[in-house]
């Protein structure tokens, strides 16, 4: 019996060795697989950042090239080496069936056989490219091509500009200009307006007062009563065109991360505030012979008004934070105009103004990846 028990030890040892061998092989395969997965994850991360760099470089090139970069829409690039990998880009319309405000740069990068993608949206610029540095393009708190009439107790925190043959009239004894009064011809031109097609039907909400969200499109007459604030929430640069905008005790509310270019054909009659984090979130472009009537009462307007052949008037006790370029300007009451100031290096001189009057592109936002 003792001999039989000793004979059984050999199979048990062999089975144990087989189990240990299988276990070791499994652990080795798991470790190898884990190492491969870690390497793939590292390569995917590298590829993602290379893709972002490729999209950013392409976007900067399109912004610098301006309108001529439109020729690249619908085309693909050859692979370009960068770092440990390479990338290629595709530029396409946001909606190929309805080309409009945006184009998308899709950048795909590959590192070690692993690919990742990053997509960046760019907005088309119509007319005047001033969204990035509006304070530089508007060096004066008020500038008019023909005449400026300052009445009442108007306070201007900034300079006033008018051409040599323009008229500057100060009717109020308490008018204060806390800046220079320059005789200068800035050479401003009318902006090009987007959306040449027929406008949407007029917008005149009824029922219980509630906010009205405005989309990037062309409207007819927009007539908004008390409590029906206008909300602009689309990320990036929104181009909105209206035949006329009339508000009565209704505010314009602009979300963070949104810049609004509001193009007005005939009348901008805004009785209310503009709620925005900064003045450069709103630029109101006025068509030739149009009229802007800025808020009356105790309201705050944050934004820029641009219409070198339009008429602008405001009165009351509102505070206007921004700047005005118009054909003619009339002020009255206790209004205050507060220019945001010009950052050093951003001042646009008259001889440089024409460089801003061309179509082009602006970087909008990154599109989330899945």
Residue of 141, 166, 145 lying closest to 155 (CA atoms):
141
At 144-200, the pLDDT tens digits run: 999 999 988 889 999 999 999 999 999 877 899 999 999 999 988 888 787 777 888
Residue with tokens 């181009």: 239
Cα 159-178-262 angle, rounded to 5 deg? 45
* pLDDT given for residue 147 in this prediction: 96
Q: 257 pLDDT exceeds 70?
A: yes
Q: 28 pLDDT exceeds 70?
A: no
β 85-93/80-82 pair status = antiparallel
**pLDDT, average across residues 288-296:** 85
pLDDT band at 135 (very low <50, low <70, confident <90, very high): low
As a whole number of angstroms, the distance between CA 170 and CA 352 comes to: 30
Q: 260 pLDDT exceeds 70?
A: yes
As a whole number of angstroms, the distance between CA 73 and CA 102 comes to: 11
* pLDDT given for residue 295 in this prediction: 64
The token pair that represents 14 in the structure block: 């062999």
Question: Which range, 92-106, 194-208, 279-293, 356-370, has the best average confidence (pLDDT)?
Answer: 279-293
As a whole number of angstroms, the distance between CA 223 and CA 246 comes to: 5
pTM score: 0.65
As a whole number of angstroms, the distance between CA 140 and CA 186 comes to: 10
As a whole number of angstroms, the distance between CA 70 and CA 123 comes to: 12
Instruction: Determine which helix (DSSP H) or strand (DSSP E) holds 13, and give its type and residue range.
Output: helix 9-65
Q: Where are the domains of the chain?
A: 11-125, 134-359
As a whole number of angstroms, the distance between CA 299 and CA 316 comes to: 9
Q: CB of 190 within 8 A of CB of 309?
A: yes
* pLDDT given for residue 107 in this prediction: 94
At 42-89, the pLDDT tens digits run: 888 999 999 999 999 999 888 877 767 878 888 899 999 998 899 999
Q: CB of 279 within 8 A of CB of 303?
A: yes
């Amino acid at each position: 019996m003792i001999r039989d028990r000793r004979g059984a030890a050999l199979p048990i040892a062999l089975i144990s060795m087989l189990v240990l061998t299988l276990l070791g092989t499994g652990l080795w395969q798991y470790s190898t697989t884990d190492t491969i997965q870690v390497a793939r994850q590292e390569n995917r991360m590298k590829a993602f950042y290379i893709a972002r760099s490729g999209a950013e470089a392409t976007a900067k090139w399109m912004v610098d090239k301006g309108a001529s970069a439109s020729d690249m829409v619908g085309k693909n690039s050859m692979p370009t080496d960068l770092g440990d990998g390479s990338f290629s880009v595709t530029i396409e319309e946001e909606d190929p069936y309805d080309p409009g405000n945006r184009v998308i740069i899709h950048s795909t990068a590959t590192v070690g056989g692993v690919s990742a993608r990053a997509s960046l949206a760019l907005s088309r610029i119509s007319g005047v490219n001033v969204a990035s540095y509006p304070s530089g393009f508007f060096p004066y708190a008020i500038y008019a091509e023909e005449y400026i009439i300052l009445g009442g107790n108007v306070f201007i925190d900034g300079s006033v500009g008018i051409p040599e043959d323009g008229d500057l009239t100060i009717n109020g004894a308490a008018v204060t200009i806390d800046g220079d009064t320059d005789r200068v011809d800035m050479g401003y031109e009318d902006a090009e307006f987007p959306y040449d097609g027929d406008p949407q039907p007029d917008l005149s909400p009824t029922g219980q007062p509630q906010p009205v969200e405005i989309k990037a499109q062309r409207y007819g007459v927009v007539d908004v009563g008390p409590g029906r604030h206008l909300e602009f929430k689309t990320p990036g640069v929104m181009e909105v065109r209206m035949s006329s905008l009339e508000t009565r005790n209704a505010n314009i509310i602009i979300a963070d991360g949104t810049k609004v270019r509001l193009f007005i054909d005939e009348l901008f009659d805004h009785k209310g505030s503009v709620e925005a984090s900064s003045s450069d979130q709103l630029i109101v472009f006025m068509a030739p012979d149009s009229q802007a009537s800025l808020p009356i009462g105790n309201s705050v307007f944050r934004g820029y008004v641009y219409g070198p052949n339009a008429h602008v008037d405001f009165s009351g006790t509102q505070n206007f934070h921004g700047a005005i370029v118009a054909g003619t300007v009339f002020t009255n009451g206790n209004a205050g105009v507060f220019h945001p100031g010009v950052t050093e290096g951003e001042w646009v001189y008259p001889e440089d103004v024409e460089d801003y009057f061309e179509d082009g592109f602006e970087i909008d936002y990154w599109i989330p990846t899945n």
